[in-house]
Structure 1
């Protein structure tokens, strides 16, 4: 993949004047195969779960890349490899020009503070036996960081930044709601002033009204601090609101990647069309889109289909799809940087209305407030 793409100069989701940048994070042909062992009395490897099977993407300074797809497609595994909580089976991960694919613990120490993670479940990701102050302060203690004014002052500033009362410093996680706990998780991720945050479905466990608050908070943090995000989610409405670019993942592969406007208005891969057609519409006066119902079940990652992995559920599949795996490339009619992995892509004239892709009135109101602001 090329290391230069066109991106907006300004921070946040809205596009501005084009500029060329070097990637903060670059992933090339990254794979994660979990071995399966069987046999008795001597166990041996009999197969592997191909959770991630060769993905390529880049995240640039100050941008948000949304990673979407059905449950089980490998999104969270991808995020954990980027943060090196998991070591890839194959491929290459480059951060700030440095190869960290198989870096050892001591080699990773200098960059641990620059790559942080927001976990999916705000209830299990916080230690119930520690106070909020201790939870947020721990990363600074582990990395030997002593900010001006002391760690406690820094923690109280972070609590205020994420919309919590600084007096909550001595409270325990069980005293907070789900949305407040996720804000604590955001504050912990910001404690070391990272350059990249991997947000692993950070709002999926929250009520919709709280989702809007947390997404708004993350956008505020990105706008003010210029932090890059790998934003993992299955909610297309939230991804649309937050991300500059979007990558669509299916069964361990990225099948389409484009800037937000291009992907939501001119999707080319049949799987992307199916995902967008499944999003409920809020505006009752809008003509309803035809729902695309996929046939069959998602194939097993232990033995994925040959050729195109989506072919077993695709209404456009032909013989070629079973023998040749389609490359992720720019095809005729695509906007620059809009990549699709399909032998028979949808016609560019078939468009999805961006305003239809809203999951809930609370998110619609959030989008309206952001636009007017």
Structure 2
């Protein structure tokens, strides 16, 4: 009876209710886009995100990974209300983010910030660096001790830039320096939670390590929590304590770093990990790359049952008729699979 109860409680990350220590809790989050087309103008729905659950604790990094188009970025933008959710709830310190309005929403947005993917397009080329970083202070009506200019210069120094660059323009900086400016802009209002949306994917490999090390340093010094969105599992491994794997709008596996990388339970997670280069496993028969057959199904008409079944080498009849819930597997993670890896 004890084992049955444990499985029922573990159907979503942290159990049916949010974790007690959770800073951010997401339950049943969905984003559907209505579309019309065809000869007769039939209406359909794109299920970009289709009911996901996860928690992020104070000072923790949850890595959100998956192929392009799986709904990672949409999830991150819904969390901080840049996009409105179609369904579900988002709570931050017990406050409902999805229903917040006015002053309540302004305060929540001070606590929850975002670092965008492209450091070239996310900065206004007509504004100076000082004005770009100061903008969140102006919008939120924040007047820090010593003035706004002093706070901006402190942020520039914190991210490894020269405070004297206050009056320079974005085009005078490299890609890595621009991303540091974006990080400074996110930190200037002293948030507690940050959505990092592919923050290093547009940078050279040599610069990626510098930015990741900077984020780790800032997390330690400022006690920040992150939702770290990426498709590069090697990068995610170095920055995240827990990992959530998405496929076609659903979370298919979530667990701590060791469980996901050493003992993956979901076939899709195993396939993703097999594509990560690892020089320590060259020549090892167990490290053979798994090549998935077919294309990712359209979110307009996702497969019945398990959404991964059309590309899964372990799929059986049950997978087409019954959607697997997230339950604890032998590897220690929560996985949505009827026939998990062993």
Deviates most, 104-113 or 308-317: 104-113
Match of 2:260 among 255, 260, 263: 263
Cα deviations across residues 42-72 of structure 1 (Å, max 9, x unaligned)?
Answer: x976001100001000011110000000000
Partner Cα separation in structure 1 for residue 269 and residue 13 of structure 2: 25
Cα 1:285–1:136 change in 2 (3 A) is same
| Counterpart check, 1:32 vs 2:31 | yes
Listed as ranges, the matches of 1:1-373 within 5 Å are 21-38=20-37, 46-283=43-280, 287=284, 289-331=287-329, 333-335=330-332, 338-347=333-342
Deviation at 1:146, TM superposition (A): 1.2
Kept in 1, the 8 Å contact 2:97–2:108? The answer is: no
Kept in 2, the 8 Å contact 1:123–1:181? The answer is: yes
Q: Secondary structure at the match of 1:320?
A: helix
TM-score (norm 2): 0.92
Cα 1:39–1:325 change in 2 (3 A) is closer
> Where does structure 2 lack aligned partners over 5 or more consecutive residues?
1-8
Cα deviations across residues 120-155 of structure 1 (Å, max 9, x unaligned)?
Answer: 000000000000000001111111111111111111
Partner Cα separation in structure 1 for residue 51 and residue 75 of structure 2: 10
Aligned-pair Cα RMSD in Å: 1.9
Deviates most, 118-127 or 21-30: 21-30
Partner of 2:5: none
Cα 1:217–1:272 change in 2 (3 A) is same
Kept in 2, the 8 Å contact 1:92–1:101? The answer is: yes
Kept in 1, the 8 Å contact 2:13–2:55? The answer is: no
Kept in 2, the 8 Å contact 1:35–1:45? The answer is: no
Partner Cα separation in structure 2 for residue 296 and residue 79 of structure 1: 28
Q: Secondary structure at the match of 1:113?
A: helix
Partner Cα separation in structure 1 for residue 253 and residue 259 of structure 2: 11
Cα deviations across residues 5-48 of structure 1 (Å, max 9, x unaligned)?
Answer: 59xxxxxxxxxxxxx852111110110001102479xx976001
Deviation at 1:104, TM superposition (A): 3.1
Q: Secondary structure at the match of 1:230?
A: strand
Deviation at 1:103, TM superposition (A): 2.8
TM-score (norm 1): 0.85
Partner Cα separation in structure 1 for residue 254 and residue 13 of structure 2: 15
Deviation at 1:208, TM superposition (A): 0.4
Partner Cα separation in structure 2 for residue 33 and residue 285 of structure 1: 43
Partner Cα separation in structure 2 for residue 136 and residue 247 of structure 1: 31
Cα 1:150–1:297 change in 2 (3 A) is same
Partner Cα separation in structure 1 for residue 127 and residue 193 of structure 2: 26
Partner Cα separation in structure 2 for residue 228 and residue 175 of structure 1: 31
Partner Cα separation in structure 1 for residue 127 and residue 36 of structure 2: 39
Deviation at 1:282, TM superposition (A): 3.0
Kept in 2, the 8 Å contact 1:69–1:233? The answer is: yes
Cα 1:5–1:74 change in 2 (3 A) is closer
Cα deviations across residues 322-369 of structure 1 (Å, max 9, x unaligned)?
Answer: 0000001113x232xx2010000000xxxxxxxxxxxxxxxxxxxxxx
Partner Cα separation in structure 2 for residue 127 and residue 166 of structure 1: 19
Partner Cα separation in structure 2 for residue 319 and residue 39 of structure 1: 32
Kept in 2, the 8 Å contact 1:4–1:21? The answer is: no
Count matched residues.
329
Q: Secondary structure at the match of 2:76?
A: helix
Pick 1 or 2: higher relative contact order, CA cutoff 8 A, min separation 6: 2
Deviation at 1:287, TM superposition (A): 2.7
